[in-house]
Amino acid sequence: MSVLDIAAQNLLSPMVLFFVLGLLAALLRSDLAVPEAVAKLLSLYLLMSIGFKGGVEVNHSGFTPQLAGAIGAGVLLSFCLPFVAFGFLRVVTRLKPLDAAAVAGHYGSISAVTFAAVTGALAQFAITFEGYMPAVAAAMETPAIFAALAIARKVAPANEKADGDSHVFREVARNGSIVMLLGSFVIGLLTGARGLTMLKPFLVDPYAGFLCLFLLEMGLVAGRGLEEGRRYLTPGVLVFGLIMPLVGAAFALPLGYLLGLSVGGVAVLTTLAASASYIAVPAALRQALPLANLGIALSLSLGVTFPFNLLIGIPIYISAAKWVVG
CATH value at residue 239? 1.20.1530.20
pLDDT value of position 168: 57
The total of other beta-carbon atoms located within 10 Å of residue 105's CB is: 35
At 278 the three-state DSSP class reads coil
Give which of 195, 175, 174, 150 is closest to 54, Cα–Cα: 195
What pTM does this model have? 0.82
Total domains in the chain come to 1
pLDDT value of position 172: 59
pLDDT value of position 160: 54
pLDDT value of position 317: 96
pLDDT value of position 237: 93
CA atoms in the 13 A half-sphere facing the CB of 110 = 35
Q: Are 207 and 199 in contact (CB under 8 A)?
A: no
CA quadruple 323, 12, 111, 291: dihedral sign = positive
pLDDT value of position 142: 82
Q: Which domain holds residue 133?
A: 3-325
pLDDT value of position 13: 83
Query: From CA 75, how far away is CA 28, in angstroms rounded?
Result: 40
Measured CA to CA in angstroms, residue 11 lies from 5, 115, 210, 241, 252 at distances of 10, 17, 18, 20, 24
Which residues in the chain land under pLDDT 70? 1-3, 156-175, 177
For residue 132, give the H/E element and its range: none
90-103: string of b/e by CB count within 10 Å (b at 16+)? eebbebbbbbbbbb
pLDDT value of position 3: 66
